[in-house]
Amino acid sequence: MNLYLRILKYVRPYWLSLTGSLICILFFTIFSSASLVSIIPFLDTIFAGPQPVIVQEQVNTPVEAAPGITPVSVRGRMDEMKEWAYQKLQGRDQRDSLKRLCLFIIVMILLRGFFDYFQAYLMAGVEQGIIRDIRNDLYRHLNRLSLSYFSRTRTGQIISRITNDVTLVNGGVSASFVTLIKNPLMIFAYLGIAIYLSWKLTLIALIVAPFSGGIIGWIGLKLRKESTISQERMADLTSVLQETVAGQRVVKAFAMENFEIRKFNTEAQRYYQTLLRITRTRNLASPLTEFLGTLVAVGILWFGGQQVLAGKMLTPEAFIGFLVIVFSLMQPIKELSSVHNRIQEAMAAAERIFEVLDLQPAIQNVTNPVAVDAFQDTIEFRDVTFSYGRGEPVLQDISIAIRKGEILAIVGPSGAGKSTFVDLLPRFYDPQKGAILLDGHDLRELELNSLRGLMGIVTQETILFNDSVRNNIAYGLAEKSLDDITHAAEVANAHAFITELPQGYDTNIGERGVTLSGGQRQRLAIARAVLKNPPILILDEATSALDTESEILVQQAIERLMRNRTSFVIAHRLSTILNADRIIVIDKGRIVQVGVHAELVKQEGLYQKLYNMQFRL
């Protein structure tokens, strides 16, 4: 029930369109009922002669009434309304009456179609608006989740929730606000007419309801379980697709096309089998309901036909009209049998969506955070210990103070904790023990966006977007002029190659900057950092994947970028940090050496070992 209520909250902005749609459904039901009821006087006109004798027979002949269902006063008014309608439809002769009835049926069908269209027209805006809002909320929330969520969740699973899961919820919304309202109204109206004509025959028709409801409920529960499995299979399939497309260079380099094809086929087969089970289960509801309904209809034909032949119940034309109404009940009942299944599938998808929306970011602002707009003095790590989840500590008892304007180089073997050290500065993660202070303020007390606004980050894995060079450099800084962007590119040694591109700064660089070389992509990332002009700079192995020529250009750009800034530089190549103000050596999560290059290279220890490994002849 909680899931239903949460989805219903998205309906509030569209209450006006929803109300209009419900009104259209009401009129659709009225005109549908009128078009069906008109069959009785139509048959009476053809078979009974020019006079509306059926009115007299129905009014004067006692008809069974179910206590509590059709009180005498209500039946009397209904009889009066029926007699009034018969009088309006009665013509001068039999042909004139037939013409009026045909025109009446045409008008009823026309009005029925008119209101059906506008109900669908208004409801389409409601449904699509709700789905748009859910998708926007989900995407907005995903962007606010902490980096740890994306580290432990596959990209395909995230994409599947935004695309496939939301689409399934759309099916549930459509079922809830159209099928679940229109069809019960039609069933109620048709049953009312059927009860008025003969409550005994109607009671026979209702015998099947408990059996049909039980079958539908069982199928719905089974579908909900299978739908959850199906969405997980779709997430697996999307993950394989995303990884294969993103890693095509590696796939082709290792000639692993057939392997990836087999892996995709395996996931596609698992998804196919799940969908097959869902389709078979879903399609079971309609024929079972139809078969049960047919049994009831045959029972009515047998029992009611005998009563009509004996002259004990309805006139022949009223009995035929009753049959038409009962058989007309089959379609809304069949649709209603499928709506439960669609809602169960939607609820399974909604569970997965709200599971994400209910996740709280691991990194959040405290109540009344302190906004910062400048870095004045020092950054201090005070007894900092950090681990990912419940694993072994990646950093242990880290204590160091970095002065404003200082260049701090961080070196050490792979897995020592270097990247984690700098990831704590912009609060991608928070330490489990100790604190990091910026000008005496614990980072956890600072407003998150203002803290990150002080920092520029350039990593080995350059993140660029499928957009123009201009927009990639000015990412998040749309107010910057072309002159500012050009100046940043010049500082980053990027202006020369940009001007040689087909459209210069307006050239689209493709997904992840695929049309550029590694050195060009890195220089664009540096230009982005230059344009942001942050007082604190983080460089995480920014030159480790470049060739010699590109490294020289990038290193020149980095040196310009670091001027008058507090810089944290991670480098495997020690040649890039020879001029650092201080070097810290991290091993197994601890700082094991601190000093400048000239000091450390003479000391026996890890730094000397790393230096000799890189520069020995």
Torsion, CA 33, CA 38, CA 41, CA 45, rounded to 10: -170
pLDDT digits (tens, 9 = 90+) for 289-340: 667 666 666 766 677 666 666 666 666 666 777 777 777 776 777 677 667 6
pLDDT digits (tens, 9 = 90+) for 215-238: 655 665 666 566 667 667 776 777
Closest CA to 400 of 538, 539, 601, 594: 594
Q: How far apart are CA 195 and CA 43, in angstroms?
A: 20
Give the residue, 281 or 503, on which the prediction is more confident.
503
Residues 366 and 444 sit within 8 Å (Cβ to Cβ): yes
Residue 42, pLDDT above cutoff 70: no
Residue 182: how many other CB atoms lie within 10 Å: 25
Closest CA to 541 of 568, 519, 520, 572: 572
Torsion, CA 126, CA 129, CA 133, CA 135, rounded to 10: 110
Place of tokens 């989805």: 7
Closest CA to 101 of 54, 59, 56: 54
Give me the amino acid identity at 81. M
Give me the amino acid identity at 415. G
Q: How far apart are CA 395 and CA 383, in angstroms?
A: 10
pLDDT digits (tens, 9 = 90+) for 160-205: 888 878 887 877 777 777 777 777 887 788 777 777 777 777 776 6
Residues 173 and 332 sit within 8 Å (Cβ to Cβ): no
Residues 185 and 30 sit within 8 Å (Cβ to Cβ): no
Residues 410 and 421 sit within 8 Å (Cβ to Cβ): yes
Q: How far apart are CA 617 and CA 612, in angstroms?
A: 9
Q: How far apart are CA 119 and CA 414, in angstroms?
A: 63
Mean pLDDT of 549-566: 76
**Hey, is 546 helix, strand or coil?**
coil
Closest CA to 475 of 514, 513, 446, 443: 513
Residue 378's beta-bridge partner residues? 403
Q: 112: which residues sit within 8 A by CB, 6+ positions away?
A: 28, 31, 32, 35
Residue 85, pLDDT above cutoff 50: yes
pLDDT digits (tens, 9 = 90+) for 360-398: 888 889 899 999 988 999 999 999 999 987 778 999 999
Q: Report CA torsion sign: 219, 225, 228, 234.
A: negative
The rounded percent of the chain whose pLDDT value lies above 90 is 15
pLDDT digits (tens, 9 = 90+) for 395-454: 999 999 999 999 999 998 888 899 899 999 999 999 999 999 999 999 999 999 899 889
Residue 242, pLDDT above cutoff 80: no
Residue 576, pLDDT above cutoff 80: no
Give the residue, 507 or 91, on which the prediction is more confident.
507
Domains and CATH numbers, the chain: 2-357 (1.20.1560.10), 406-417+448-615 (3.40.50.300)
Supply the angle between the helices 316-328 and 180-197 in degrees, to the nearest 10.
160
Helices (H), 401-477: 418-423, 448-452, 469-473
Residues 274 and 314 sit within 8 Å (Cβ to Cβ): no
pLDDT digits (tens, 9 = 90+) for 453-495: 898 888 777 778 888 899 888 888 888 888 999 988 888 888 8
Q: 305: which residues sit within 8 A by CB, 6+ positions away?
A: 319
